[in-house]
Copies of this chain bind each other. A is one copy, B any other.
Amino acid sequence: MDDLGQAGGTEPGDAPVRAARIQDVARLADVSTATVSRALATPERVSPEARARVLEAIAKTGYVPNPAARTLRSQKTYMVLVVLPDLANTFFSKILRGIEETLFEAGYGMIISDLDGSPEKEAHFAAFTAAGRVDGAILLNGHLFGQSREGEGQPARIGIPLVALCEAIPSADIPHIEIDNRAAASRMTQHLAGLGHRRIAYVSGPANNILERERFLGFKDGLEAAGLPFDPALVIPGDYTIESGVAAGQGLVARTTRPTAVFCTSDEMAIGLMRTLLSAGLRVPEDISVAGFDDIEFAAVAEPSLTTIHQPRRELGQAAATVLIDLLQGRPAPKQIRLETELVIRNSVAPPG
């Protein structure tokens, strides 16, 4: 008896239960569809009695506005695209969570694009945003869509609010949320130097990466502040992955004169590198100190536990989402937010033997 109660024309029958539409609610509440719509969007512009009847009818029918129809008319999707280079990378997952929870509270959904280094995907997602499937985007990949084909007249005018997270996009005039990578790297370098290390190796991130450039500058800053010379032979290429840390470790093991400390610009690399050193019979930190960057979950439980730079990942995500939402809703938003990092001292670093 208390099912839909389909009044008017069509025979109810046992047909597949279609979702209630605004029409059904309007009929049940004895108002027009316009009033139903207003009762939801601008309650103060509807009389209390009508509002009550509408809400009752909504409860009875289980009405949920059809998002496609709403989007078509209002040109708002309440969806945000998050673009990231590698979904499987531990570093991003907690950031994502910060983003997701903030968006959720504001009524936005999140669509994730894992670029995976594929230009094909990038083009796809450029089309995606162009087609108006999302109201805005958060970019964690350090560049805009279609950066590759630069000269072609369409210099990535996406036309929706964008926010850069972690990796500021140099040429673009969009807000970015970040940590002070340069200062943090400098601080770690000085920490190592302060313990007495003179030969400090640096395991880099991917070349051309903004983070890498900043951290590398910070490393040199730190050396200079400590009065140490910069030695290019102590720069080891990496790409933030465990595997590249392992490879860097193998290179170190093979050397005759080794650095007394290694600063890895990601925890993954640091953990991979420690693994290789330990397997080769070297002791950490007695024979060689190892420092990381990021403070991922596993840094605290690595053996030895990892001295690293803590990044407030969840907060970074929250901040990016907050800024984007402000932009979407026409509120002013800061052009740049810089969150504090923290030097976390654990057991993988000690004074040189």
Expressed in whole angstroms, the minimum distance between the Cβ of A69 and any Cβ of chain B is 5
In the complex, are the beta carbons of A271 and B66 less than 8 A apart? no
Shortest Cβ distance from residue A201 to the other chain B in the assembled complex, whole angstroms: 19
**A interface residues, how many (CB within 8 angstroms):** 54
A195 to B223: give the CA distance in the assembly, Å: 51
CA distance A132 to B19 in the complex (A): 9
Bound-state CA distance A169–B217 (Å) is 52
- CB pair A90–B90 under 8 Å, yes or no, is yes
Whether B301 contacts A130 by the Cβ 8 Å rule is: no
Q: How many copies does the complex hold?
A: 2
| CB interface residues, A 272-318, toward B, < 8 Å | 272, 274-275, 278, 297-298, 300-303, 305
A30-38, A103-111, A186-194, A331-339 - the one binding chain B: A103-111
A87 at the interface (CB under 8 A from B): yes
Q: Which partner residue on chain B sits nearest A62 by CB separation?
A: B130
- Of the residues B127, B132, B274, B301, contact of A68 by C-beta under 8 Å: B132
| Residue positions of A touching B, CB distance < 8 A | 19, 62, 64-69, 71-72, 77, 79, 87-90, 92-94, 96-97, 100-101, 104, 109-112, 114, 116, 121, 124, 127-128, 130-133, 242, 245-246, 268, 271-272, 274-275, 278, 297-298, 300-303, 305
